[in-house]
Amino acid sequence: AQSVTQLDSHVSVSEGTPVLLRCNYSSSYSPSLFWYVQHPNKGLQLLLKYTSAATLVKGINGFEAEFKKSETSFHLTKPSAHMSDAAEYFCVVSPYNQGGKLIFGQGTELSVKP
Amino acid sequence: DGGITQSPKYLFRKEGQNVTLSCEQNLNHDAMYWYRQDPGQGLRLIYYSQIVNDFQKGDIAEGYSVSREKKESFPLTVTSAQKNPTAFYLCASSIARGDRNEAFFGQGTRLTVV
């Protein structure tokens, strides 16, 4: 069965310092992997996606993620946090050939201190 | 502008009532999805539809019903059988073909039982 585990429910960083949000996945076949961001009481916005091309994926707002098959990980990083990055982040897997169904991690709340 | 529109943004339901949440998309996507979001639990799939006049149960379909009479519309009815309906409901759509499987989300409907 496919699953996604976000290793931290809450991460707090200072503005200008690096961000690391950790995600591990389990999938029988090569999945598609995504990171979404959600600001309070809003829908989800796609940050980036991996679909078996380059293992280092660049997304919007300076975020990027690296797909590591040997570690079954897809961690999200950003070199320098901004106050506007404070939000909830979801790591998501779309299993192969299942009509676009998405399996969500539990979410990581990112706080950014001035 | 293309996108997904959910209405209403806030909805209040009395005990024993059925309520219907609206979801419309003009992205020409074949697949549409309904998710429920509760604090600390990520998003859970209620129902999904890959084509007009066809839909499948997700992981938590009990107490919910859907229809897909038009490609653009995928309304969700929360019935009186759903014992704990208070939650944030998100609708999404996707091309869901090949590696074009990222989902686009509406802004959500917050349902509260009063």
Residues in chain B, how many? Answer: 114
CA-based nearest distance A51→chain B, Å = 6
Looking at the partner chain, which of A41, A42, A101 has a beta carbon nearest the beta carbon of B48? A101
Mean pLDDT for the stretch of residues B101-114: 91
**pLDDT tens per residue, range A35-51:** 999 998 888 999 999 97
* Residue A12 reports pLDDT greater than 80: yes
Tokens 């997304």, residue located: A59
- CA–CA dist B89, B44 (Å, integer): 10
State residue B1's pLDDT score. Answer: 59
Mean pLDDT for the stretch of residues B3-21: 93
Mean pLDDT for the stretch of residues A74-101: 90
| Yes or no, beta carbons of A99 and B33 under 8 Å apart | no
CA torsion through residues B40, B110, B60, A36, sign:
negative
Mean pLDDT for the stretch of residues A13-29: 92
Query: Burial letters for A45-59: b for 16+ Cβ neighbours within 10 Å, e otherwise?
Result: ebbbbbbeeeeebeb
The percent of residues above 90 in pLDDT, for chain B, comes to: 76
Determine contact: B85 vs chain A, CB below 8 A: no
Looking at the partner chain, which of A9, A49, A101 has a beta carbon nearest the beta carbon of B45? A101
Q: Up-side HSE of residue A112: CA atoms within 13 Å toward CB?
A: 16
* Residue B2 reports pLDDT greater than 80: no
Query: At B38, which helix (H) or strand (E)?
Result: none
**pLDDT tens per residue, range B57-66:** 999 999 999 9
Mean pLDDT for the stretch of residues A3-31: 92
- CA–CA dist B82, B63 (Å, integer): 4
DSSP strand pairing (B87-94 vs B109-113)? antiparallel
Looking at the partner chain, which of A41, A100, A106 has a beta carbon nearest the beta carbon of B101? A100
The beta-carbon contacts of A51-54 under 8 Å, at least 24 apart in sequence, are A51/B99, A51/B101, A52/B99
Give the pLDDT band of residue A100 (cuts 50, 70, 90): confident
Query: Burial letters for B6-31: b for 16+ Cβ neighbours within 10 Å, e otherwise?
Result: beeeebebeeeeebebebbbeeebbb
User: Which backbone phi and psi does B55 adopt, to 5 degrees?
Assistant: -155, 160
Interface of B with A in 29-68 (CB under 8 A): 31, 33, 35, 40-45, 48, 50, 58
State the DSSP code for A69.
Answer: G
Looking at the partner chain, which of B6, B102, B107 has a beta carbon nearest the beta carbon of A46? B102
CB-CB contact of A102 with B33 (8 Å): yes
Determine contact: A114 vs chain B, CB below 8 A: no
Q: Please list, in sequence order, all residues whose beta carbon lies within 8 angstroms of the beta carbon of residue A70, skipping any fewer than 6 positions away.
A: none
| Yes or no, beta carbons of B42 and A101 under 8 Å apart | no
